[in-house]
Amino acid sequence: MKYYRIHTQDTAYYTNQPRGLFTAVWKLVEADILTEEEQKEYWKNREYFEKALPVPPFYADGNPDRAVTWFKNNENGDRIFEEMTFYKDMAKKYGVKLYISECCELPGEVVYEDDFQIAVKNVNDKAHVTTSELF
């Protein structure tokens, strides 16, 4: 199976991995960069995705393994990624450059899996990961 991750070039201090799309847009909200209307839309989208996309349970414990999530290149993973138009639009509007990393093997030790995604810790440095600009 193929896996992919949408992220910035910024390294997240906690995981030491590139910051994912959800967190990148949260940082715009946190910095009060989005307009009032965009912030309302952010909360609406966040609520939707927290229902539509399973939230890995390790987040409730503060992500002790410092895991990162990768979408599965399948019907569920691809569909949910396509639905993330608000996040992609905000990144593009505010100049947050996005990248896609892709891998045809497990990119690390799997600590969580559902129909949409996997979460990995201990990134496999020997895995063949290709990264390119998304936009």
Task: With cut-offs at 50, 70 and 90, classify the pLDDT of residue 39.
Answer: very high
Domain coverage including residue 26: 3-59+67-133
Number of domains in the chain: 1
Q: Looking at the predicted structure, is the pLDDT value of residue 126 above 90? A: no
**Letter string b/e over residues 31-70, b meaning 16 or more CB atoms within 10 A of that residue's CB:** eeebeeebeeebeebbeebeeebeebebeeeebebbbbbb
pTM score of the predicted model? 0.92
Give the pLDDT confidence score for residue 66 in this predicted structure. Answer: 95
User: In terms of Cα–Cα distance, which of 30, 28, 14 is closest to 87?
Assistant: 28
**Which DSSP string do the residues of 49-71 spell out, in sequence order?**
HHHHSPPPGGGGGT-TT--EEEE
pLDDT, tens only, 54-105: 999 999 999 999 999 999 999 999 999 999 999 999 999 999 999 999 999 9
Give residue 30's pLDDT: 96
Q: The tokens of 54 are what?
A: 């399973």
Element (H, E) at 109: strand 109-113
